[in-house]
Structure 1
Amino acid sequence: MFLRPTKRACDGCISRKVRCSGTWPCDTCRSGPKQINCTYFKPARKRGPKVRRPAEIPSDRMPSGCRVSANDLAETTPRDGFVIERSPDSARSWSQTIPQATLAYIVREYQRSSYSVWPVINVKVLLQRLESDNDPSTYCLALALCAATMAQLQLAPLINGDREIECKLLATECLHLREEIKYREHLDARSVLVSLFLHVYHAKINKRNSAMLFIQEAISGARLLKLDDDGMVAREWSKDENVIANCDILFTLLWVSERGYAMHLGLKPSYKSPTWLSDRAQTSENAHVQGLIEHARLFAALDGVITGESNLAGLPASTLTETEAALSTLSLGQGERAPTRMADYCITKEWMRIIIWQEALSRHLLSSTSYLELMTFRFPVHVGRDLLCSLQGFSRSDLLPLGRDQLLKCFEITNSLADTVLCTSFIVASFQGFHVGPQDLLHALYQKLLPFLDQDQTLKSILHVKTAKSLVTAPARALYLGINEQWLGEDQNNDSIDSCLDLATNVRSAISDIPDYSV
């Protein structure tokens, strides 16, 4: 009788190498002289012969057409210790999915509005290479630049046929492409800028961890390329890197960007050494270069507080005072500056002053009787006044290219002023004799920031509640000025007065229902 092989044998039959019926318990285990536990715990093995790997062919027996020559290996080695050239066959096939006309439009918007913020792209050369070359690295750089520009300037999505092109699509396409071209192994200055612009995009959409990782990746790539070395600035850039403008300040831009974002997150920067400013950059007549250098000097003045080896709680009060005094003495140099760069400088300077004051507050160094303005509770009022005076000369189009980073800086100043007004009533009382008090400065700053607060509803709700509460709880100036009922005018009837009183009552009741964010 022919017995068909079972699909699965039990563990005992496999170990004894006998035929198994495949049942449970199987016939062999059940009819044995000893009671054997029939189990099926062992995993089933694949049937059939074992597959053997092909043996490696020695290099001396390999056909001549398959051998790797020394010249082929030389294409992947560093040249001049700086740029790693890309082999033509190192990247997989890729296709340009975003139309060149769309990219060209966004790149021109960058040149018109955001070039003063990131003055490192030669727009003319970039557009020429997009039209003539089939280079994935240049296309990847254009995608990252366009994604950052659309996010910063809040550009509306562009319609291309049935397709809607927005900043998220550009960033996703850029991320996929740079993985295909193996940017880590074929590193150049364009790869560093791609990481920088991806940092800007993710910071704008408030993805903090991703933004911090991208800017640190840019710093690490720049250090591998020795961009932080003063002796490398005079190097002749390769043909593929002519798309980069103002090469001398590339690492300075990365240094400033990482320090500013790390301070927002309360982290230490990865590159702790102070940046160097080349002689050629400092003597440059380019207004954008000079603006970035002046911006870097602000961070250099604060460098002792940011990167101090000891904890901030261990810094002496004199260090905070000297740092704030050094920041106060800095000012923009002579010459014409772009309005966006000037606004960036003014906002950053006042933000750094309030950061130092917050450190003094956290260490319980403030006193109402201190002769140092920094060590008093009135300091946010003066910083808020200086910030408001600086912002009065700039329009919305001047502030928009600065993005979320500057919104957070202004929020820090305004929020500190609001907490001071709400928590220290004697500060408001000390300004009663003035036409403009702290609550008026707070209200003015809130109105100035209101168009940008729509980007972040959380920040908007916090400032809205604090500003409304400070205005309602502030002393009524009309009462202290001795104004009586005749000030209302004889032509106003009682109904209008009653409606005003009802409105004030409704405002008070509405504010009492809003959650308290003042702590």
Structure 2
Amino acid sequence: MVVTACDPCRRRKVRCNGQQRCQQCEHLDLRCTYTDNQQARSRKNAVRRGTLISEYKIPSTKKDLAAPASPPDLSLPLSTAYLHNLIPKYMAYVYPFNPIMTGDEIQDSIRKIDSDRDHAAFVFAFTGVTIDLTQSNIAASHVSEQVAELARRAIELRTPLLPGTRPSILRAITSVYIQMCYMSLGQHDLGFFYLREAISMVHLLRIEDKALMASLDLAERSRRRRLYWLCFIHERFMSIFHFSPATLSPHTAFPEDDPALGPWISHGWMQVIKTFLLLEPTFLSLWIGDRTQVTAVWVEQKHRELDDELWELEVSMLTDSQQADLVVTRQWMRTLLWQMAMSNCLLSSNASCPSLSLETPLRLSNQLRRFLTKISQNTIQIHGSSILNKLLEILNTIADVVIHGQQVSLEETTSRIDDIVFMKDVIFSFRNLQKVSKNILIEKMHLIRERFEHIEVSEQLEWDGSTP
């Protein structure tokens, strides 16, 4: 029986096999050290699991991944060396949130790039997604041009689906990556089209067929379910963003634990699935359709589901990158819920339920700011257009409340504007912030400045065009 755990495992409170370089540290590429220190063992000195992983990460690996992936020169063929250099960045920033194609499978596609059109199409889509998510903060129009060109080549290279042929997981994830590229480029209709294409392939792969799935080994069965849930998550987001009906029901089963995936990816992925399950059919139909059917009872129920202390505890043990995705998503959902309550005139200044309070968006903005100040800007930006669109929805709502809300004390007004300034700076740092969204925010910043011109902090709402 193992009586001594290594320092990273002990502080993260996970099972350690006690070897010289334990299984957990080997998997996460951490420094595996053993210290006999009573103070370090105390619960009081425990730290968040995500922080611990960052603290023990091997420096050389961390340094290599921190460098952004430069866009390729597409006037030349993609070099094998360039593509292989993208794989570690993909595994760090793309795979944890799209855990379908592994690094080994990408290497196989790179080997087949000249002999198989579908593998070549996947390589272009993989390249586009990876450089897009690792260059979200670089103010360079050529990055967007490169992403658009890579998506175009991926589309043109794919072989058609003809009678007697079946789609593959490779083809389905290629469509998902093309969708992600077009969402980043602001081509939302095309994003919707290629997501629906991926969903059609999911149906043709018969992932809902229990007998077929039972005939597969655990790794393949789990991967196919992850593909299903990935499309489910993307479609739920698109349904809110694009005001389009959702076609995928929740799968009858969660993905089985796949040892090859790694515990921190599995745990984070399950939290994403559970979070998007909150966007159930009633939520979507009320958002898209007749909001006069929104009731105070329903809003209070959804608020309780979103205000889950156990969820907060579990998420606090994830990496900063996973936390950024999940925390912003929850705040975004709370904002959507508040908007629906407001649409049906259910809000009041003394409501017992926070989601029925006029002040809720302001409280959410303060909470979100406190969280975002604890993590790096890059940790936010690697989530690309998904997290950007959620932040835009949140900030637009906060700005509207400040513009049209009742006058409050100077101290409270200053605090609210300060939160808006902070959120504005975060959003304007994204390379792929679309011109229309930017102009809407700039106009709201001007309105707030005009209303509160007597407050010094409102000068920070000015935007001179120098920020990306």
TM-score normalised to the size of structure 2? 0.71
The answer on 1:376 being equivalent to 2:357 is: yes
Aligned equivalent of 1:171: 151
The answer to whether residue 286 in structure 2 is matched with residue 302 in structure 1 is no
Counterpart of 1:189 in structure 2 is: 169
Alpha-carbon contact 1:188-1:225 (below 8 Å) kept: yes
Equivalence for 1:136: 117
Task: Tell me the distance in 2 between the aligned counterparts of 1:436 and 1:253.
Answer: 41
Q: What's the offset of the Cα at 1:198?
A: 0.9
- Cα distance in 1, alignment partners of residues 374 and 257 from structure 2: 28
1:205 aligns with 2:185: yes
Cα deviations by residue, 1:286-305 (Å, 9 ceiling, x for unpaired): 21122121112112123143
What displacement does 1:173 show? Answer: 2.0
Question: 2:236, 2:279 within 8 Å by CA — same for their partners in 1?
Answer: no
Q: After superposition, give the CA deviation of every residue in 1:446-479 in whole Å (9 maximum; x if it has no partner).
A: 123221276323322322332343245238579x
CA distance in 1, matches of 2:322, 2:94: 10
What TM-score does the superposition give when structure 1 sets the normalisation length? 0.64
8 A Cα contact 2:296 2:356, kept in partner: no
1:147 to 110, 114, 128: 128
Matches of 1:344 and 1:183 in 2, distance apart?
40
Q: Per the alignment, in what secondary structure is the counterpart of residue 116 of structure 1?
A: helix
Q: Give 1:369 shift.
A: 3.6
CA distance in 1 between partners of 2:451 and 2:294 (Å): 37
CA distance in 2, matches of 1:453, 1:465: 20
Cα distance in 2, alignment partners of residues 417 and 394 from structure 1 = 22
- CA gap of 1:308–1:434, structure 2 versus 1, over 3 A, is closer
Structure 1 residue 327 and structure 2 residue 306: aligned? Answer: yes
1:227 alignment partner in structure 2? 207
User: Aligned match of 2:293 in 314, 329, 342?
Assistant: 314
For residue 339 of structure 1, what is the aligned residue in structure 2? 320
**Is contact 1:418-1:466 (8 Å) kept?**
yes
Residues 400 and 147 (structure 1), Cα distance of their counterparts in 2 relative to 1, 3 Å cut: same
Is the alpha carbon distance of 1:451 and 1:114 closer, same or farther for their aligned partners in structure 2, counting shifts above 3 Å?
A: same
Larger of the two Rg values belongs to structure = 1
1:241-280 correspondence to structure 2 within 5 Å: 246-271=223-248, 273-278=249-254, 280=256
Deviation at 1:402, TM superposition (A): 0.9
CA–CA separation in structure 2 for the residues paired with 1:131 and 1:407: 35
| 1:54-73 mapped onto 2 (5 Å cutoff) | none
Specify the alignment match of 1:14 in structure 2.
Answer: none
Identical-pair percentage = 18
Instruction: Confirm whether residue 351 of structure 1 aligns to residue 351 of structure 2.
Output: no
Structure 2 residues not aligned, in runs of 5+: 1-75, 140-144, 464-468
CA distance in 2, matches of 1:279, 1:419: 40
CA contact (8 A) 1:454 1:460 kept: no
In 1, the alpha carbon distance for the partners of 2:266 and 2:213 equals 15
Q: Which has the higher helix share?
A: 2
Range with bigger deviation, 310-319 or 344-353: 310-319
The 1:176/1:336 distance shift into structure 2, 3 A limit, reads same
Cα offset, 1:98, TM superposition:
3.6
- Structure 2 CA distance for aligned equivalents of residues 408 and 246 of structure 1: 28
When residues 349 and 231 of structure 1 are mapped into structure 2, their CA distance, relative to the original with a 3 A threshold, is: farther
Relative contact order: is structure 1 or structure 2 higher (C-alpha 8 Å, sep ≥ 6)? 2
Quick one: structure 1 residues 166 and 195, their matched pair in 2 at CA, closer, same or farther if it must change by over 3 Å? same
The one-letter code matched in structure 2 to 1:146 is T
CA distance in 2, matches of 1:183, 1:206: 34
- Mark the CA change 1:231 to 1:281 in structure 2 (over 3 Å): closer, same or farther: farther
After superposition, give the CA deviation of every residue in 1:387-431 in whole Å (9 maximum; x if it has no partner): 1122112212212221112111111111111111111133xx1x5
Summarize deviations over 1:40-97 as a string: whole Å, max 9, x none. Answer: xxxxxxxxxxxxxxxxxxxxxxxxxxxxxxxxxxxxxxxxxxxxxxxxxxxxxxxx95
Post-superposition offset of 1:138:
2.4
> Number of residues paired by the alignment?
377
Q: Residues 178 and 331 from structure 1, CA distance in 2 versus in 1: closer, same or farther, beyond 3 angstroms? A: same
Alignment root-mean-square deviation, CA: 3.6
Matches of 2:229 and 2:398, distance apart in 1: 32
Q: What secondary structure sits across from 1:358 in the alignment?
A: helix
* Cα 1:471/1:354, change in 2 over 3 Å: same
Deviation readout 1:260-309 (Å, 9 max, x if unpaired): 122111222122x2234436249985211221211121121231433449
2:427 alignment partner AA:
L
Amino acid of the residue matched to residue 260 of structure 1? F
Change (3 A) 1:276 1:290: farther
Query: AA paired with 1:444?
Result: F
Q: Is the 8 A contact 1:253 1:292 kept in 2?
A: no
